[in-house]
Structure 1
Amino acid sequence: MALSQRTSRAAASLTKSLAAPSIRPIQGPDSFRCSIASRSTSRAYRTVTHGSDTFSAADASLNESIASELTKFRKLFESIPFVFQGPKAEPHEFQFATGTLFNAPTPEIGLKMAPAYIRALKDHGIAAIDLGFHDPDSQFLLNVVEAIGCKADSHSSTQGALWDVRNNPEGVKSEGTGKAAHSISHSLDEFDWHTDAAFEKDPMRFFGFHIIHPDKQGGGIFRLLHVDELSSLLSTETVNTLLAKDFDLKVPPEFFKGESTIKGKLLHYDEASKQTFIRFRRDILQNPPSDDPAACKAVAELLNLLDDPERVGKSMPASVFKENAVLLMDNAQFLHSRTKIKDPKRWLRRIRFRGELKAAQDFRN
């Protein structure tokens, strides 16, 4: 076989190894190693230790001449750190765990990493992907939901799977009223702590954003609060009440799907996963929230805690919440909020989805 043919085959094998990974990030005291292993017998890996790079083709069948020719691909692959460790977070910032931050240099490589996103969502409830390609229609956001075995839900009876979170004074048409409805997400206002679709009978378990234009004037700061942190700061009595009590919840007209109110608990303990889940949005609660004094007392304690920014929540680092990044989150584990928007061009595109988090067959091959 000609050397060029052998090199082409070896390069194809290496590309497949990098593009169809099972990614295992390992953080040690002196190094951060990102190993990308394919299901084939060939192995190619890159280790970064103390600032020095070592490229090795571990398949013994590759002779030195082929390995030598493959070094010309080194710079290309070194520029694609699929899984990376973000900068150390400030005390007020959310700290991303190792294995939750990703780079997707192309749509194809990004979708091949679906198993890694699934692992991040299952283990940590969050994954952030920095896109290295132009995607004005947020097609990757739609495709990645399919790639992790989930299905996007419509936002309302008149809106589809993608929802633009941007200043829109005209609002959207509500089938419930027949008139224009104005969502908080279409304003420049602060948006208090909430989970997405808290007014649904069965809220979507996950949601995602494609950040098209972040606020570049210091506003619109995205903040996160994990339900475990929240629960630990509430009294046991309040937690038990929120787990037991059904509340009447109002459906905002812009998200009308046939019902104006639903019943639901604010906290739910899932026996299968041994996790506590949350649904919450302040403005969908009735006034008073219940005819049960104990339930009203529990809600009052919850609201008082959420009104104290010094006690709860972390800001999303600007190094992650940036232009052309995708954020996937477990909607049942995290509340999120934003500060008042200062840049009227701020623009996110949102998707809500549900499913079992299992890599779709089409994206595993």
Structure 2
Amino acid sequence: MKVVNSLPRVYLAAGRLALKRPWSYQSCIRQAASFSTAQGAGDRHEGHPPTAPPFAVSDPSSAAEPRFVASVHRALERSGMARIKLAFPDPGSRFLEELVCSFHAHHGHRLPITHSASRGWFWDVRPSDGTVIPLQTAHHRARSETMADFPWHTDCSYEGAPPRFFGLHVLQHDRYGGGTLSAMNIERLGAALSPEARRALRRDEFVITIPPEFIKDRSKTSIVGNIMAGGDGGGGGGGDETGSVMMRYRRDLLEPTTTAAARALRELDMLLDGSAGGGNLAATSTVHLKASDCQAGTIILMDNRRWLHARNHIRDPERHLRRIRWDAIPFPQE
């Protein structure tokens, strides 16, 4: 299905490649149509990545209802994605906040992390030039505060303990067809890399710069570490019992420190931009969530270590999402 706005190169490759009243579980959750992909529902084939199972919620108290919380948690564990559609207004994102606290209470997730020295659990993802809408970190404009596309990345790749999950509450979707959110399966991406590249990416041979808007300690502006873990018998670590491949990645923050690291990063770049078979990889491992899939009132939950995500150009200056990140665990090292 063609997206309204023209897509940047990475998307072209991917296109190829406890409240008071009682709550009734059965009445508040139902299955809906699955996410659409670049090929459209009619063109899906065996091997296409799993799409997030959507839940329709009509009662705010479901965020604290154990059976509902367990169902969403199972969806996250199974595919690394879940989508929730709220049938009630929630301008303060209280449902999302309470749901994450329920994951903490019932499923052992760590509580959310703060976004910076000046921001708490929530971060508003919306265009801002610092005038009409003030910047959330003084004098520093985050990439999420622009209308530009945002290539493949994981959240908080610059943290020693990146959050395992993030959630996005859509307060206003892009009414003009922009802001498509894409997600690429990291397990399949890792399998497409050469053994040499995987070994190099698992070594502590990368400087990862901390963006100015997310610095929490002024004396610390970067970290050194690996950007891939697990796979090839490496073990998952960090509370991950599957031993599956996981990544922390944002290309503009990475600087390899050895020849082998630079070579491995080039190979990864070629896969992500559609070269070296990257088109075929993306076609079977990428999900595209258009604005029509994620209208106002939608909540998207994603496993930050199992999926890379990206966003194309925003067309609607009033597009507004609210983000939360939680369950921060030290990134595994070899």
TM class, shorter-length: 0.7 to 0.9
Match of 2:64 in 1: 111
> Structure 1 residue 250 and structure 2 residue 197: aligned?
no
**Mapped contact 1:161–1:352 kept (Cα < 8 A):** yes
Match of 1:262 among 223, 229, 236: 223
Match of 1:163 among 100, 123, 131: 123
In structure 1, give the amino acid aligned to 2:58.
P
Give distance in 2, aligned partners of 1:114 and 1:355: 19
Q: Deviations over 1:163-184 (max 9, x none)?
A: 000011116465xxxx510111
Match of 2:266 among 284, 300, 324: 300
Q: Provide closer, same or farther for how the CA distance between residues 173 and 103 of structure 1 changes in structure 2, counting only shifts above 3 A.
A: closer
Give distance in 2, aligned partners of 1:129 and 1:264: 35
1:233 Cα deviation from its structure 2 partner: 2.0
Q: Is 276-285 or 318-327 further displaced after alignment?
A: 318-327
Match of 1:285 among 244, 254, 266: 254
> Structure 1 residue 226 and structure 2 residue 176: aligned?
no
1:187 Cα deviation from its structure 2 partner: 0.2
Q: Provide closer, same or farther for how the CA distance between residues 225 and 139 of structure 1 changes in structure 2, counting only shifts above 3 A.
A: same
3-state SS, counterpart of residue 143 of structure 1: helix
Which protein, 1 or 2, shows the higher relative CO under an 8 Å CA cutoff with sep ≥ 6?
2
3-state SS, counterpart of residue 163 of structure 1: strand
- Identical positions, percent: 31
Match of 2:83 in 1: 128
Match of 2:5 in 1: none
**Mapped contact 2:112–2:324 kept (Cα < 8 A):** yes
Q: Provide closer, same or farther for how the CA distance between residues 99 and 299 of structure 1 changes in structure 2, counting only shifts above 3 A.
A: closer
Q: Is 247-256 or 310-319 further displaced after alignment?
A: 310-319
Q: Provide closer, same or farther for how the CA distance between residues 97 and 135 of structure 1 changes in structure 2, counting only shifts above 3 A.
A: same
Stretches of structure 2 lacking an aligned partner (at least 5 in a row):
1-21, 231-235, 330-334
1:230 Cα deviation from its structure 2 partner: 1.0
How many residues get paired?
Answer: 275
In structure 2, give the amino acid aligned to 1:111.
A
1:282 Cα deviation from its structure 2 partner: 0.9
Give distance in 1, aligned partners of 2:37 and 2:79: 19
Stretches of structure 1 lacking an aligned partner (at least 5 in a row):
1-14, 20-35, 37-76, 357-365
Q: Provide closer, same or farther for how the CA distance between residues 235 and 355 of structure 1 changes in structure 2, counting only shifts above 3 A.
A: closer
Rg (Cα) greater in structure: 1
1:342 Cα deviation from its structure 2 partner: 1.0
1:87 Cα deviation from its structure 2 partner: 4.5
Give distance in 2, aligned partners of 1:96 and 1:318: 20
Give distance in 1, aligned partners of 2:37 and 2:94: 33
In structure 2, give the amino acid aligned to 1:320.
D
Q: Provide closer, same or farther for how the CA distance between residues 167 and 355 of structure 1 changes in structure 2, counting only shifts above 3 A.
A: closer
Match of 1:273 among 242, 246, 259: 242
> Structure 1 residue 152 and structure 2 residue 99: aligned?
no
In structure 2, give the amino acid aligned to 1:92.
Q
3-state SS, counterpart of residue 163 of structure 2: coil
Query: Could you state the TM-score of these two structures normalised by the residue count of structure 2?
Result: 0.76
Give distance in 1, aligned partners of 2:324 and 2:295: 17
1:314 Cα deviation from its structure 2 partner: 2.7
- Equivalent residues in 2 for 1:21-40 (5 A)? 36=26
> Structure 1 residue 206 and structure 2 residue 165: aligned?
yes
3-state SS, counterpart of residue 337 of structure 1: strand
Q: Deviations over 1:82-133 (max 9, x none)?
A: 1304247445369785882101101113432111111111111111100011
Q: Deviations over 1:188-224 (max 9, x none)?
A: 0000100000111110111000011111212111000
> Structure 1 residue 344 and structure 2 residue 309: aligned?
no
Q: List structure 1 segments (4+ residues) > 4 angstroms apart after TM superposition.
A: 93-99
1:310 Cα deviation from its structure 2 partner: 3.6
1:344 Cα deviation from its structure 2 partner: 0.9
- Equivalent residues in 2 for 1:301-340 (5 A)? 301-308=267-274, 310-311=279-280, 312=282, 313-340=286-313
1:246 Cα deviation from its structure 2 partner: 3.2
**Mapped contact 2:126–2:320 kept (Cα < 8 A):** yes
Match of 1:141 in 2: 96
C-alpha root-mean-square deviation of aligned residues, in Å?
2.3
In structure 2, give the amino acid aligned to 1:101.
P
Q: Provide closer, same or farther for how the CA distance between residues 118 and 219 of structure 1 changes in structure 2, counting only shifts above 3 A.
A: same
**Mapped contact 1:245–1:295 kept (Cα < 8 A):** no
